[in-house]
Structure 1
Amino acid sequence: MSGTMSKDTEIDMEEVKLNELDPEKQPMTGDGQAAGGEKNGSVKLKVPDDEVTFTGLSKEELMRVAGTPGWVRTRWVLLVLFWLGWVGMLAGAIVIIVQAPRCKPIPEMNWWNEGPLYQISDLEAFSGGMDGLEAKLDSINQLKVKGLVVGPFHTVQADQPNTLNLKEIDPTNGSEKSLMSVLAKAHKKGISVVLDLTPDYKGTSPWFSNNIEDIMEKVTAGAEYWLNLGVDGIKLPDLSLASSASNWPKLQAAVQGNRTEEDTKANVLMGVAAGVSAPEASLLVNTTGVDLLLSDLLSSKNEGVERIRAMDTLQSQQRSVGWGLGASRNDHLSKLANNPGLLRLYQLLLFTIPGTPVFTYGDEIGLQAQEGESPKMVWDIEKEPSKEELNEVAEANRTEQVAVMKWFTSLSDLRGKERSLLHGDYYSLHSSASSLAFLRLWDQSERYITAVNWGSQPETLTPLLSPTTGEKLPETAKVKVSTDENLEVDSSIKLDKITLGPGRAVLLQFPFMG
């Protein structure tokens, strides 16, 4: 029997061996056996049912760890470092604020200091009357002007003071209702309106030839009437004579007496001073109490030395001084500037000079002055002519007028944006018989140098800034605008010598240097 069992055991062991497969031929399953229908090469992994998750320290464990001496010291070190850093940043900020240059306070400005004034002495020639003026306000507004000076157009007969009525508009010029419409529309556009109340504007003497005291009474009454209707100021001729009247203070009170700290807009008392020197003009500003004095210094003084001396004298009173070339007599700029180059030159000069630029209607397009009569204003110059209207000479004139107007508008816009040009300090740099140069700057704003040569020959200007000013010129500056073909816009030029062609001008710019 034992032999039988031994044989059976050997048979069983053989079957086991036969049933075992070669490991290389076993299916790649997780349990070592091929699942039903699965092919060799598939892998089946068994993922434990119980996943291990990290729960962190419990509150009790965290408190035990946080209370150990090592963590206590670490927390204190980090806290001290935080507060030291905070205090350091605060101290640094204070040092920066203390050491930084303080901004210069903006001077008190009135509306007549913020942009050019635009004079319209002949409404019929400008717009066909008062109704036409209202229709042209949109075009005027594009020039960035801040005020219109209109008139005179009151009722009077030449050299007849008994016919003077400053409260009534001559019917040939329009009606009071039309003027009120002009005022309303102009004010909506931010444009102020000043009335010229020259008493005898049709006669030989602006104040007639008799007792100025009686005329001044009528002017004061007329001023009160129009100011109560919304007019923003009055303009008077011959300030030297007007201010000599004993009742001049009464007129002042009528125009300026309603000013309070709450007023957002003041009325302007504007006077003309023709034929006076710069010191005399300065004295008039100081003694008459006038808000704006319009002189003829630029047109009466032809040499650059005289003009720069006048600017030197009046620059400290720039918020009370108006400048024009012919504007004091309602003449057009083209009367002095008889070519397009000079037109641009004098526009650049007026927009960058320390004071208020004053223009006569049409100066923005170079409207040609006519002897003895007002030139008719030209409109729609940007409109292309039809084939029937096409004329080579007329088209060339139109193209030039468009270019001059764009130049004018760009300068007006620049002056309104740049503090150095708007109300900045002034320093003379150079002057000769036919040229001049000056510097305009304000606090930490961009600086500007105006250089002009109205002579018939090229000229080299040598800008020199007095060391007593405390300011310095850089070695180079950038060309902002130019009428000289040799000085391209955005190019850089050296300031030791500025060469300008005949009848050429340039405006240079350089940054605040600290």
Structure 2
Amino acid sequence: MEPESPHRELELSALEAETEPMAAAEPGTPPQATLPHRDPSPPPEQLLGVEKNGLKMKIPPEEEEEAPLGGSGVSGSPKFTGLGKEELLREAGTPLWARARLVLLVLFWGGWIGMLGAAAAIVAQAPRCQPLPTKAWWELGALYRAPPKAFGGDLKGVEKRLGYLKEKLQVGGLVLGPVYPQKSPEAKIPPLKELDPTLGTRQDFSALVQAAKDKGVKVILDLTPNPAGNPVWGDAAKDSEVLQQVQAAMSHWLKEDIAGIFLDGIEELPDLVVAQWRNLTEQQPSPSGVDRVLVGGTRLQDPWRAPGGPQLLLGPFLQPLEPKGDAEAPEGALRNLLNFLSSNSSVGLGWSVGSPWETWVSPNLRLQQLLLLWGLPGTPVLSYGDELGLPRPPKNQQLPPMPWESIEAPKPAGNGSEPPELELCAALASLRAHERSLLLGEAWAVAAGSAMAVLRRWDQSERFLLVLNPHGAPLKPFSVKKEPGDPQEPPLPTSATVRYSTGPKEPGEQQLRLEELKVGPYQGILLGFPYSPQ
């Protein structure tokens, strides 16, 4: 059966529309105008479409605007469908568009080249970061010097307190000793190769070295034959047999993967012997590859008078900073120390307020000089109980154990329950570990009247100004206009922030003007201020 044609469908639709009954109007309703009938269906030729390029396309009818009531429909204007391909190509080839394209191309590449040039100029004019200097491990952290019995009596007690040294005081090296037994009456020196059995076994010592390594603490062994003596070596310094025994003991203990050797009284030994022992320490291979150090102790107050063999020299170098009669003024002594450091790169200095057996500073200057330990370039060295203010025992008496129960007891933060020395050391150790100016920076002795002032700076990091009053009367070090001095001396800021003070503590950080700074008797203040380009 053939399908009905479209014409037939249209005729049937028209008949159905005519036969439908009209709805009756409501009574009283005026008759509505009858609109001419409009067939919603498009003409058949539009349904079928037109043929173009062999394809039949369905073209919708043009919309007509509705005429007002009783009016007639008016055909709407045709829609704009854009330019055709041929028209676009024809317009693009005109001189106007050709010039426009050329201008846009020049502007685009000119903008890119200009931005690249501006970026290069900014990079060229920006201040360059100073390369970090190469520092040995003993220059980056503090050293702690004490005999094993100060940690609780044996090597296991030392191992137990490694966390305190590292976490509280940022200690990088532990100078431990003596660990050898007592000297027999007929021997010239103690048996330096042996381990005191009251301290533990060799396995305990190896376990201590490994535990310290895991904590980031390196062990330096004190092999001084008579550590508490004065003189330390005496006639033994010229005895070739004694010197050979010391060298053999050094070689023996270096096999234990320790990080170095400490020998006190280094100024009593021949320079050639010290040089040989340094070579032995540096050249004997370390199982873990650690750089080894020969640390020398001296009783001399002037480091330039000590032999130059050790890589690190410890001594009472801060003693001249205490006013004493006709001695050199403290500010002059400080300047001499800084000049020695800047002109001598072969030996580093370790700052300390005492040895495990004696103290080197007066009690009223103790906090001030502890501040110097972390404020000066070099290595801060704490000896037995320095961070707690422990007094030294009378001469030739044994050191008492440290009060570990009190140290390790939990304390609420910020209630002042810790000794002021421990609070100062912990705060400055943490600050030095995070501030490049204190850890790596150069040091300048700044004119400050009768006070001492040291400026620490590194590249674009925060600067620090350490101001110390070693006298018994208050001072205003920057109240007088500064006389022209060293033209290379860096200028000071007009104001700074108090980062730490050994005097009365103010709540929060205190901002003050330098010309108004007042430093109390025996007080030390650490000021900080930001980098400012000249």
TM range (shorter): 0.7 to 0.9
SS at 2:226 equivalent: coil
Task: Tell me the equivalent position of 1:96.
Answer: 122
SS at 1:169 equivalent: coil
Task: Tell me the equivalent position of 1:482.
Answer: 501
2:382 is equivalent to residue 362 of structure 1? no
Task: Tell me the equivalent position of 1:214.
Answer: 241
Between structure 1 and structure 2, the one with the greater Rg is 2
Q: Return the alpha-carbon distance in structure 2 between the equivalents of residues 431 and 111 of structure 1.
A: 33
Q: 1:292 aligns with which of 298, 312, 319?
A: 312
Instruction: Answer yes or no: is the 8 Å Cα contact 1:479–1:490 preserved in 2.
Output: yes
2:272 is equivalent to residue 252 of structure 1? no
Q: Return the alpha-carbon distance in structure 2 between the equivalents of residues 89 and 259 of structure 1.
A: 55
Q: Return the alpha-carbon distance in structure 2 between the equivalents of residues 189 and 382 of structure 1.
A: 19
Q: 1:131 aligns with which of 128, 146, 156?
A: 156
2:44 is equivalent to residue 21 of structure 1? no
Which residue identity is paired with 1:451? V
Q: Return the alpha-carbon distance in structure 2 between the equivalents of residues 279 and 203 of structure 1.
A: 23
C-alpha offsets along residues 118-166 of structure 1, whole Å, 9 cap, x if unaligned?
Answer: 1112x22322211111111111111211111000222341775445322
| Consecutive unaligned residues in structure 2, runs of 5 or more | 1-24, 39-59, 64-77, 324-329
C-alpha displacement at 1:67, in angstroms?
2.8
Please give the TM-score of this superposition, normalised by the length of structure 1.
Answer: 0.78
Q: 1:312 to 1:56 in 2, by over 3 A?
A: same
Instruction: Answer yes or no: is the 8 Å Cα contact 1:479–1:487 preserved in 2.
Output: no
Instruction: Answer yes or no: is the 8 Å Cα contact 2:189–2:225 preserved in 1.
Output: no
Is 212-221 or 474-483 further displaced after alignment?
Answer: 212-221
Q: Return the alpha-carbon distance in structure 2 between the equivalents of residues 53 and 378 of structure 1.
A: 98
Q: 1:383 to 1:144 in 2, by over 3 A?
A: closer
Instruction: Answer yes or no: is the 8 Å Cα contact 1:297–1:307 preserved in 2.
Output: no
Q: 2:463 aligns with which of 420, 438, 447?
A: 447
Q: 2:454 aligns with which of 412, 418, 438?
A: 438
Percent identity between matched residues is: 33
Task: Tell me the equivalent position of 2:490.
Answer: 471
Task: Tell me the equivalent position of 2:322.
Answer: 302
- Count matched residues: 455
Instruction: Answer yes or no: is the 8 Å Cα contact 1:159–1:208 preserved in 2.
Output: no
C-alpha displacement at 1:71, in angstroms?
2.2
SS at 2:97 equivalent: helix
Task: Tell me the equivalent position of 1:346.
Answer: 369
Alignment of 1:225-236 (within 5 A): 225-236=252-263
C-alpha offsets along residues 63-111 of structure 1, whole Å, 9 cap, x if unaligned?
Answer: 3333332222222111111111111111112212222222222222011
Q: Return the alpha-carbon distance in structure 2 between the equivalents of residues 174 and 53 of structure 1.
A: 102
Q: Return the alpha-carbon distance in structure 1 between the equivalents of residues 246 and 233 of structure 2.
A: 10
Which residue identity is paired with 2:387? E
2:354 is equivalent to residue 326 of structure 1? yes
| Consecutive unaligned residues in structure 1, runs of 5 or more | 1-15, 33-47, 387-394
Q: Return the alpha-carbon distance in structure 2 between the equivalents of residues 141 and 314 of structure 1.
A: 30
Is 110-119 or 246-255 further displaced after alignment?
Answer: 246-255
Instruction: Answer yes or no: is the 8 Å Cα contact 1:161–1:208 preserved in 2.
Output: no
Which residue identity is paired with 1:422? L
SS at 1:146 equivalent: strand
Q: 1:109 to 1:177 in 2, by over 3 A?
A: same
Q: Return the alpha-carbon distance in structure 2 between the equivalents of residues 277 and 119 of structure 1.
A: 21
Please give the TM-score of this superposition, normalised by the length of structure 2.
Answer: 0.75
More helix by share: 1
SS at 2:203 equivalent: helix
C-alpha displacement at 1:173, in angstroms?
2.7
C-alpha displacement at 1:505, in angstroms?
1.7
SS at 1:458 equivalent: coil
Task: Tell me the equivalent position of 2:165.
Answer: 140
